[in-house]
Amino acid sequence: MDKKRLQQLYTCISQSDEWLSGRELAARLHLSARTIRNYVREINREKPYILSSQHGYRLNKSLAADNYRIQVSSVKPEPILPTERVYYIIRHCLVLRELSLDHLMTELCISDRTLNMDLNNVRQILSGFQLKLKIRKDSVRITGPVYEQRRLARHCIFETTGLEFPSKEFICGAFPEYDCQQIETILFQTLEASGLSVNGYERYDLLLYVVIWLREIHLGNAMTREECPVECIRNYHEYEIAGELSRRLCRLIGQSCNLWEQEYLAALLISKTSTIHLEKCRLLPNYPLIEHTVKDFIHMAGMALKMDLYDTFFIKKMTCYFQRLLVRQQMKFYSQNVFFNALKNRYPILQDVCAWSLLHFSKQFHISIDPSEVGFLAMILCEYVRERGYSFDMAVPCTLVCPTFSHFPGQLIYTLTEGLGKAIHIDQVIETLDLEKIDTDDRLILSVVPVHGGPFILPIVPYPRSEDFRHIYDEIHKIKMRMYSRQLCSFFSSMLPPENFYVNVSFSSGKELIHKCCEHLTARGYVSEGFDEDLLARENMDPSVFYDTLAIPHHCSEKVHREFALVVLNKEAMYWKDGYVDMAVILATRDQETTRLQKIYDLAVKVLSSRKNMDILLKAGDHASFLGQLEQISGQIL
């Protein structure tokens, strides 16, 4: 019984000289009349502190000097907030399988009306897990697939603890009745011996799922029929591993595991691990179709990144990844999104390619894909690109002014290349003092002799040191930003008509903005009906939001009749997925012009996501001033 509520009831009665009815007290404290009676009985257990009659309740003044007090500091209070009560109900339903409604009202100290509202909130949460709340006579229970109930149990842990990522210490504390250290040892020893590996972001999430799985079996809540939605799950190599692992783990609780539980554990291992046995993946019936999709993905990524990414081993690795992704999405064993916004901010095209590929994959296999998958795929692609020695950064054309002195020019070129990597491309060397040959427009000029006349001329010492390289990198950044701004200004001059410029408007969300603007675009013949839904599908997969200031939804589609840009400068920051933005830019090109769209998109991110540039552009009062300020940015040394 809630000790704090007992004290609240006593205080409420003691502050009145009149009789208070049970109904009045129930209304004041948001309790049921029956709970009030139970509380009065509890308070009066040792002495009759409260008098009761047909008129209600009143303080027994003869005992007022005793001043009823109860220690609440050492007692864990029952859930009071609506959210706390909702998850209390869910947790107890999952463990006990069935709860008495009367017991719930007594334990939570609430009326039947409040309980009904809480149960409606429970239903809302369950709707995201293919589960239902069944009320029969005086009891309530959760029904639906067992694997979804386990996913719900994990969800409750994160929601009620505020936990962002599980740790071993947390798991051991949350399940003290199990030897989680021993479970971890058995789990990861088995995986390592079987050629399965777990990355650091998944390790303890996998352990948490396994402990929940073991607890459910221990409580008698095991699967009793085939529920695993993954086709041919027993054809996977991990099914055999799951059999061995389940036998070792179930010995810890003195029970055994049925074949349906083995299927569940196999799906969990497939979802949360990677394998070195790539050849075994070829034995699965879906391999040819997925391999074809992977080749399309690699071709698309190579075109966008201007790199040759085709490699037989990488195709096998990615096909295996997409096979596991299919299982992960069917079972909804999603991962926590950790740092992938930082990757998107740095390499927008890389993440964009992954988002489009996953969107295509989801349509082809008729499944929904969690947005966190985009970041993981981008990490894999980024790692592969780096391994092959490619760079995402554009090399700036550079002129080296270094008059001949023995072998010195060649030595200096070697030193600069070593120190700057692929950041510059020295395509011109002037070995005399014939300086009028220098082209200073948007080029970096590195010179060991005095040169004048260009914006990006940097004198260097014959034998540069680390601090010299830092100065050169600063100049490289300035040149790139100037080039990007000029190119974007050129695109916007042709793609952004006055009718597509909105200023001082009040859209409340990105969804509203896209729907309203697409109505305008459809009416003016830019796009066909349904373009807004395609745009939203891409945003749902991976929101095109950068640095919490800018959104750039974009699409290349047969529904686009002519390419365009549309700019919205909102009065106030508008809600966009999980954040807020000040500016939105919609970009679209016709089908088969993907490369062009990606180039414009990349330029827009690089230029517009700069906070300094955003502050300048947000001051624009109309279409002409916006383009003028963009032109001004392109002429500045940023």
Q: pLDDT digit string (tens) for 624-638?
A: 999 998 888 876 644
Quote the CA–CA distance of 17 and 247 in Å, as a whole number: 68
Query: Would you tell me the crossing angle of helices 82-96 and 146-161 to the nearest 10 degrees?
Result: 140
3-state secondary structure of 249: helix
3-state secondary structure of 290: helix
For residue 532, what pLDDT is reported? 95
- In the DSSP assignment, the letter for residue 64 is G
Percent of the chain with pLDDT over 70: 93
**pLDDT band at residue 64, thresholds of 50, 70 and 90?**
low
Strand partners, 20: 57
**pLDDT band at residue 20, thresholds of 50, 70 and 90?**
confident
Burial class of residue 280 in the structure, from the number of CB atoms within 10 Å of its CB (0-12 exposed, 13-18 middle, 19+ buried): middle
- pLDDT tens for 478-489 read 888 888 888 899
Quote the CA–CA distance of 18 and 20 in Å, as a whole number: 6
Burial class of residue 254 in the structure, from the number of CB atoms within 10 Å of its CB (0-12 exposed, 13-18 middle, 19+ buried): exposed
For 8-161, list the strands marked E by DSSP: 50-53, 56-59, 99-100, 132-136, 139-143
Range ranked top by mean pLDDT from 173-177, 179-183, 226-230, 417-421: 179-183
Quote the CA–CA distance of 275 and 590 in Å, as a whole number: 40
Quote the CA–CA distance of 505 and 538 in Å, as a whole number: 24
Tell me which amino acid residue 530 is: G
**pLDDT band at residue 270, thresholds of 50, 70 and 90?**
very high
Percent of the chain with pLDDT over 90: 42
| Residue pair 467/451 in contact by the 8 Å Cβ criterion | no
* Tokens matching residue 345: 């901010």
For residue 77, what pLDDT is reported? 47
Tell me which amino acid residue 174 is: A
**pLDDT band at residue 535, thresholds of 50, 70 and 90?**
very high
- Mean pLDDT of all residues belonging to the chain: 86
- pLDDT tens for 280-294 read 888 889 999 999 999
Strand partners, 588: 555, 564
Residues belonging to the chain = 638
Strand partners, 56: 53
For residue 333, what pLDDT is reported? 92
Torsion of CA 416, 422, 426, 427, to 10 degrees: 160
Residues 505-511, mean pLDDT to the nearest whole number: 94
**Where does 388-465 have alpha helices with state H?**
408-420
Closest CA relative to residue 264, chosen from 177, 331, 173, 165? 331
**pLDDT band at residue 466, thresholds of 50, 70 and 90?**
confident
pLDDT at 311 over 80: yes
Quote the CA–CA distance of 356 and 300 in Å, as a whole number: 10
- pLDDT tens for 163-172 read 778 888 888 8
- pLDDT tens for 385-424 read 888 888 777 788 888 888 888 778 888 888 888 888 778 8
Phi, psi of 137 (to 5 degrees): 55, -110
Quote the CA–CA distance of 448 and 446 in Å, as a whole number: 7
For residue 65, what pLDDT is reported? 54
Quote the CA–CA distance of 105 and 113 in Å, as a whole number: 10
Tell me which amino acid residue 442 is: D
Tell me which amino acid residue 56 is: G
Range ranked top by mean pLDDT from 169-178, 266-275, 365-374, 450-459: 266-275
For residue 637, what pLDDT is reported? 45
For residue 579, what pLDDT is reported? 85
Quote the CA–CA distance of 205 and 266 in Å, as a whole number: 15
pLDDT at 73 over 50: no
Element (H, E) at 430: strand 424-430
For residue 81, what pLDDT is reported? 76
- The residue with greater pLDDT, 63 or 112, is 112
* Tokens matching residue 442: 């948007």
| Residue pair 20/13 in contact by the 8 Å Cβ criterion | yes
- The residue with greater pLDDT, 74 or 195, is 195
3-state secondary structure of 12: helix
pLDDT at 160 over 70: yes
Q: Give the Å distances, CA to CA, from 226 to 26, 147, 257.
A: 48, 11, 14
Least confident of 307-321, 439-453, 480-494, 531-545: 439-453
For residue 339, what pLDDT is reported? 58
> Alpha-carbon torsion 281, 286, 288, 289, what sign?
negative
